[in-house]
Amino acid sequence: MLGRKKWISSALVLSTIAGLTLSTLEPGFHSERAEASALKIQPLESVSLVQLSVPNNQKALDKLSELGIDLTHRVHYENGMLEVDAVVTPSEMAMLKLYGITVKDTLITERQLNQRAAERRTAIQQEKQLTSAEETVTFLRANHFTNQSDTFLYVEAKSTSGATSSTILTAKWTENGAEKTATLQKIEDAGEYLYHSFMLPVTEIPSEVTIESSLGGTSTSKVTEWLGADKPDKPKKHYVKNFVDHYMDPTEINARIENLVKEYPELAEIVEMPNKTNGYRRQAQATIGTMQNAAVVVTSKAWGHEGGNAISLELKKAGAADAPLSVGTSGSKIIVTLATDPDGNARSTAKEVVDVLNAEASNLVTATTYRNNAGNGIVEPATANLSDNLKAPASVSREPAAVKAIRIGKHRDGSKPGVLGYSQEHAREWVTPLVSVETAERLLRNYAHDKDTRKLVDNLDIFIIPSMNPDGAHYSFYDFNSQRKNMTNHCSPAQSDNGYRNSWGVDLNRNHNVGSAFDGYVGASTTNCLSGTYAGPSEHSEPESRNLVWLANQNPNIKFAMNIHSYGGYFMWSPGAYTPERETLPRPSAGEEAYYWQASDHILKEIKKHRGTVILPSRTGPIPDVLYSAAGNSADFLWYEKGIYAWNFEVGADLWNKETQRWELVGFQPPFEEGHEEAMEFSNGLLGLIDVAYEYSRDNKAPKSSITPNGGKHDDIVEVSFSTSEPATIYYTLDGSRPTYESQKLQLSGTREGAETLTFNKTTTLNWFSVDASRNVENKYEPGKNKKYNSKTFIIK
């Protein structure tokens, strides 16, 4: 007869444990504990949440029940033991140890629990303070606009209590005689409250909108037109456009701009960047074997087009028993004769084949096991022809490529303000080079007969780079449509078999040295070479990104830049990156931000003229406020390192489907009919930026500034606000010293808000001056030298 089973059934264990904290102990046990208590009062012990390792037997379970241990609901079997989470004191842990019940892990101590409780109390108190304080609701914008499909109402507002989950903002307006309402969506990024907003189609444009908060705050604003009332293009007397009729790869694009220069040598030239790309080329490869531990990855020493594609490899079994492993080569053919056992079966492992290939055929190939596998599987006979897997026609060169810009201007000697437009940092963005080519064509072909074009070309130095990433772009056109990065493979051999070939490369718009992932900013990877946002092995590791640096360094006259991307219909500027704590790169001053917005208004109106496309207010502004953090992007390099006003287009705005009442995305490579329209409207926008640069070149009028209140005596704290005749940066001091360019700048009061105010609670002398984007200084003041700055004293009684 079998002995009695010692293991307790699962159902019994679970039912026993489930009742432990509900069971009452024996009366005698209670009385003994009470008697002991009467003899000596024990101090309260701390408690911890621990994981107990309990022998799976009735005695241990009975002891848990007897002691009344406070168990959680989590029970788990592990190696014949029960793992049970429990809240226990040190004395209870000592008692349990006597019965073989041990503490496997301490999950949370009482100190940690108290810390969390304190944190919660602090958070609750902060929320109470926010919600009990007098709330202010501020409109950031209340706009209407009409695009090619419908009319919309868009509202952004900010509440001083907006960071709390209990703050609900509701908008009210009148439409066709009826009251309409909408709840605003709270917009946050990386834990920071930005604002509330909504956008809805309307059948009648309301004159005003009121926002009411659940906490009692309210505010009303008039509704104005976003981007003004400009109508679609009316043909000029003679203005030529519509020069692109298909998607073009970089080879076609370079030929196109070179031909333009041949036609207009007096107005244009080609600028060839000094850092050649790695080339549209790869080593030839083959992976032989279907099982990971029995697979061999073979890579040619030569580039595929330089002989690697001609290499073949044959793994064959020796014809005799106990034959050794050997390798022979004949020209570009490699034959591996696999070793056999006494029965004549192949016995060579993948690792052995790798070693012999690296020893005997190293003039032709290198070999590795598959993705760092130990390679202990037996290799089967097989044959393979190595290939670089590249499918572009022979007309696409495999050699390192020169990235080219077309430079347009009557005076290309650096004497005129420069404008830079560059596109296709990301290979799959096929529309963006069309924007660049279309713009270059319009500037040159309209010069002779259109006075507006002539004034731009005569007074500016215009640089246009249609394709920053020719290798990746060729790969996108012919091999892998979704290619984002360049083609340079920085991966280790374990990540370099041909199965990874669509993931190699560096994101060129993450490879720059300002706000980079290497400095701890968010939005790129420095460790995962297969990531879509891989920043490369170091800042400016890639020739393509170094070319942009070279161009900016060689041409200090460049004052404006547009980085043309797709898709989504965004219009953005710096800062472009923030840390994990959402600390952004330094924000532009209030005056610089105002200039970004003013210029953007003109550029976006020009985009709208083509077919009514409206870049949404919610997608216009500093990059982290409307999109995400992009560590190491090129626009931040241009703004922070070179002082260039730098924008980012994301062409390809969503299209509103009036029938389905839904926005429809267009993608990186829309049907050309749509791609053509995007190229036309964003060429308008790029020319709009060139207009901005032209106005900059003509601006010799100094700004004027004023303050409210205007100094004098005050009975209480005074809050001072500034106004300027045009977007201008305010430099100021509060200690009586002369203000200089090193003095404090007037900053923004908050995300998506206007200029800050200065608060004085004691007698203060405020000295200041203003400077516009064209570096015109108010009152012809020479900072730090003469006394032509503004000065007001506030006497606080």
DSSP 162-187: TTSTT--EEEEEEETTEEEEEEPEEE
pLDDT at 92 over 90: no
pLDDT at 18 over 50: no
| Percent of the chain at pLDDT exceeding 70 | 87
**pLDDT over 70 at 196, yes or no:** yes
Contact residues for 281 (Cβ-Cβ < 8 A; gap 6+) = 303, 304, 305, 388, 390, 398, 399, 487
Mean pLDDT of the region 190-212: 89
- pLDDT for the residue 77: 63
pLDDT tens digits, 581-619: 999 999 999 999 999 999 999 999 999 999 999 999 999
Tens digits of per-residue pLDDT, 30-55? 333 333 333 344 466 777 878 888 88
Residue 27: pLDDT above 80? no
Looking at residue 715, its amino acid is: D
Question: Which residue type occupies 143?
Answer: N
Cβ atoms within 10 Å of 549's Cβ, excluding its own? 18
User: 519-549, pLDDT tens digit by residue?
Assistant: 999 999 999 999 999 999 999 999 999 999 9
Q: Tell me, what's the pLDDT at 131? A: 53
Q: What pLDDT does residue 185 have?
A: 82
Coil vs helix vs strand at 692: helix
Contact 542/400 with Cβ under 8 angstroms?
no
User: What is the C-alpha to C-alpha distance for residues 137 and 148, in angstroms, rounded to an integer?
Assistant: 33
H-run or E-run covering 673: helix 672-698
Q: How far apart are CA 541 and CA 632, in angstroms?
A: 12
Q: What is the pLDDT of residues 179-190, one digit of tens each?
A: 988 878 888 887
Q: What confidence category does residue 245 fall into, taking pLDDT thresholds of 50, 70 and 90?
A: confident
Least confident of 54-58, 430-434, 441-445, 748-752: 54-58
Binned at pLDDT 50, 70 and 90, residue 625 comes out as very high
DSSP alpha helices (H): ranges in 578-671? 590-611, 623-626, 634-636, 642
The answer to whether 737 touches 768, Cβ cutoff 8 Å, is: no
Query: Could you give the CA distance from residue 724 to residue 706 in angstroms, rounded to a whole number?
Result: 7
What span, in angstroms and rounded, lies between the C-alpha atoms of 718 and 794? 8
CA distances (Å), origin 218, targets 214, 376, 761: 9, 73, 29
- pLDDT-derived band at 148 (thresholds 50, 70, 90) equals confident
- Give pLDDT, residue 15: 38
Q: How confident is the model at residue 23 (pLDDT cuts 50, 70, 90)?
A: very low
417 alpha-carbon distance from chain centroid = 31
At residue 457, the pLDDT reads: 98
Mean pLDDT over each residue of the chain, to the nearest integer: 88
**Residues 284 and 299: beta-carbon distance below 8 Å:** yes
Predicted local confidence at residue 122, as pLDDT? 61
- Statement: residue 787 has pLDDT above 80: yes
d(C-alpha 152, C-alpha 658), whole Å: 12
Closest CA to 296 of 352, 361, 367, 356: 367
**pLDDT one-digit tens code per residue, 723-765:** 999 999 999 999 999 999 999 999 999 999 999 999 999 999 9
Residue 691 is predicted with a pLDDT of 97
Asked whether the predicted pLDDT for residue 2 surpasses 50, the reply is no
Q: What is the pTM of this model?
A: 0.78
> Higher model confidence: residue 111 or residue 552?
552
Residues β-bridged to residue 78: 81
For the chain, percent of residues with pLDDT exceeding 90: 71
- 371 Cβ contact partners less than 8 Å away, ≥ 6 residues apart: 292, 494, 495, 497
pLDDT of the residue at 649: 92
- Per DSSP, the chain holds a count of helices (H) and strands (E) of 16, 38
CB 208 within 8 A of CB 221: yes
Q: CA quadruple 424, 427, 432, 438: dihedral positive or negative?
A: positive
**What is the rounded radius of gyration, in angstroms, for the C-alpha atoms of the chain?**
35
d(C-alpha 624, C-alpha 576), whole Å: 6
What is the average per-residue pLDDT within 249-270? 95
pLDDT in tens, 379-410: 999 999 999 999 999 999 999 999 999 999 99
